[in-house]
Chain A
Amino acid sequence: MKLSNITSRRNRILLRELVVTDFKLRYQGSALGYLWSILKPLFLFAILYIVFEKFLRLGKGIEHFPVYLLLGVVLWQFFAEATNNGLQAIVARGDLIRKINFPKYIIVISGTVSALINLAINIVVVGIFMVINQVPVSWEALWIIPLIIELYVFALGIAFFLAALNVKYRDTGYLWEVFMQAAFYATPVIYPLAMVVAQSEMIAKLLLLNPVAQVIQDIRYVMVTHDSITIWSFVGGWKSLIPFVIVGAVLVVATIYFRKHSKNFAENI
Chain B
Amino acid sequence: MSDIPNAEPAIVISHVTKSFKIPLEASNGLKQKLVNSLKGRKGYRNFTPLNDISFTINKGDFFGIVGRNGSGKSTLLKTIAGIYAPNNGAVRVNGTLVPFIELGVGFNPELSGRENVYLNGALLGFSRSEITAMYKDIVDFAELHDFMDERLKNYSSGMQVRLAFSIAIKAEGDILLLDEVLAVGDAAFQQKCTEYFEKVRHSGKTVVLVTHSMESVEQFCNKAVLIEDGVVKTFGSPDEVAKQYTLDNLNAEANTNKAVTQTLNPEVKSLKVKLRSETIVEPNARLEFDVEYALHEAIQVDLGISILHQNLSVIEHNTQKLKLDYTVGKKHTLRYSLPLENLNHGRYEITAAIFEKSEFKLIGFTPKPITFVIDNIHNQPAGGVLAKTGEWRVL
Instruction: Name the contact of A13 in the complex, choosing from B31, B99, B128 (C-beta under 8 A).
Output: B128
Check B106–A96 contact: CB distance below 8 A: yes
Instruction: Give the interface segment out of A133-141, A221-229, A260-268.
Output: A260-268
Residues in B neighbouring A199, C-beta threshold 8 A: none
**A99-B105, A266-B84 are contacts. A25–B123 as well, Cβ < 8 Å?**
no
Instruction: Name the contact of A28 in the complex, choosing from B28, B78, B110, B123 (C-beta under 8 A).
Output: B110
Distance between A259 CB and nearest chain B CB, rounded to angstroms:
12
- List 20 extra interface pairs beyond A17-B122, A98-B83, A263-B85, CB under 8 A: A13-B126, A14-B123, A17-B118, A17-B123, A21-B108, A21-B115, A24-B115, A25-B108, A96-B106, A97-B83, A99-B83, A99-B105, A100-B99, A100-B124, A101-B82, A101-B99, A102-B125, A169-B29, A266-B83, A267-B84
Question: Which among A13, A16, A98 has the greatest number of chain B C-beta atoms within 10 A?
Answer: A13
Residues in B neighbouring A98, C-beta threshold 8 A: 83
Give Cα A87 to B386, complex, Å. Answer: 64
Closest residue of chain A to B129 (Cβ to Cβ) is: A13
Check B30–A169 contact: CB distance below 8 A: yes
Instruction: Name the contact of A24 in the complex, choosing from B99, B111, B127 (C-beta under 8 A).
Output: B111
Does B81 have its Cβ within 8 Å of any Cβ on chain A? yes
Check A96–B111 contact: CB distance below 8 A: no
Does A170 have its Cβ within 8 Å of any Cβ on chain B? yes
Residues in B neighbouring A9, C-beta threshold 8 A: 127
Check A17–B83 contact: CB distance below 8 A: no
Does A40 have its Cβ within 8 Å of any Cβ on chain B? no
A interface residues, Cβ below 8 angstroms from B:
9-10, 13-14, 16-18, 21, 24-25, 28, 95-102, 168-171, 263-264, 266-267
Question: Which among B102, B110, B123 has the greatest number of chain A C-beta atoms within 10 A?
Answer: B123
- How many residues does chain B have at the interface if contact means C-beta atoms less than 8 Å apart? 30
Q: Across the A-B interface, give the 10 residue pairs with the lowest CB-CB distance, nearest first.
A: A101-B82, A17-B122, A263-B85, A99-B105, A171-B30, A99-B101, A266-B83, A101-B83, A169-B30, A14-B122
Give Cα A169 to B271, complex, Å. Answer: 60
A-B contact pairs, 11 of them (CB 8 A): A18-B122, A24-B111, A95-B105, A99-B102, A99-B105, A100-B83, A101-B81, A101-B83, A169-B28, A170-B28, A264-B85
Using an 8 Å CB-CB cutoff, how does the interface string of B66-84 with A read, 1 for contact, 0 for none?
Answer: 0000000000001001111
Residues in B neighbouring A13, C-beta threshold 8 A: 122, 126-128
Residues in A neighbouring B81, C-beta threshold 8 A: 100-101
Closest residue of chain A to B101 (Cβ to Cβ) is: A99
Give Cα A102 to B121, complex, Å. Answer: 12
Closest residue of chain B to A101 (Cβ to Cβ) is: B82
The secondary structure that dominates the B interface is loop
Instruction: Name the contact of B119 in the complex, choosing from A17, A99, A101, A267 (C-beta under 8 A).
Output: A17
Does B357 have its Cβ within 8 Å of any Cβ on chain A? no
Give Cα A39 to B85, complex, Å. Answer: 46
Does B33 have its Cβ within 8 Å of any Cβ on chain A? yes
**A17-B118, A25-B108, A96-B106 are contacts. A10–B78 as well, Cβ < 8 Å?**
no
Check A100–B101 contact: CB distance below 8 A: yes
Residues in B neighbouring A96, C-beta threshold 8 A: 105-106, 123
Would you list which residues of chain B between 112 and 149 have a CB under 8 Å from chain A? 115, 118-119, 122-128
Residues in A neighbouring B85, C-beta threshold 8 A: 263-264
Residues in A neighbouring B115, C-beta threshold 8 A: 21, 24
Closest residue of chain A to B105 (Cβ to Cβ) is: A99
Distance between A175 CB and nearest chain B CB, rounded to angstroms:
8
Question: Which among A100, A171, A263 has the greatest number of chain B C-beta atoms within 10 A?
Answer: A100
Distance between A26 CB and nearest chain B CB, rounded to angstroms:
11
Does B20 have its Cβ within 8 Å of any Cβ on chain A? yes
Distance between B270 CB and nearest chain A CB, rounded to angstroms:
51
Would you list which residues of chain B between 9 and 66 have a CB under 8 Å from chain A? 20, 28-31, 33
Check B118–A100 contact: CB distance below 8 A: no
Closest residue of chain A to B125 (Cβ to Cβ) is: A10
Distance between B32 CB and nearest chain A CB, rounded to angstroms:
10
Question: Which among A17, A18, A168, A171 has the greatest number of chain B C-beta atoms within 10 A?
Answer: A17
Closest residue of chain A to B130 (Cβ to Cβ) is: A13
Residues in A neighbouring B127, C-beta threshold 8 A: 9-10, 13
Closest residue of chain B to A98 (Cβ to Cβ) is: B83
Residues in A neighbouring B105, C-beta threshold 8 A: 95-96, 99-100
Residues in B neighbouring A17, C-beta threshold 8 A: 118-119, 122-123
Distance between B43 CB and nearest chain A CB, rounded to angstroms:
13
Residues in A neighbouring B33, C-beta threshold 8 A: 169
Check B29–A100 contact: CB distance below 8 A: no
Give Cα A24 to B125, complex, Å. Answer: 21
Residues in B neighbouring A25, C-beta threshold 8 A: 108, 110-111
Closest residue of chain B to A25 (Cβ to Cβ) is: B110
Closest residue of chain A to B85 (Cβ to Cβ) is: A263
Closest residue of chain A to B99 (Cβ to Cβ) is: A100
Check B123–A102 contact: CB distance below 8 A: yes
Give Cα A143 to B99, complex, Å. Answer: 46
Give Cα A95 to B29, complex, Å. Answer: 20
Give Cα A16 to B105, complex, Å. Answer: 18
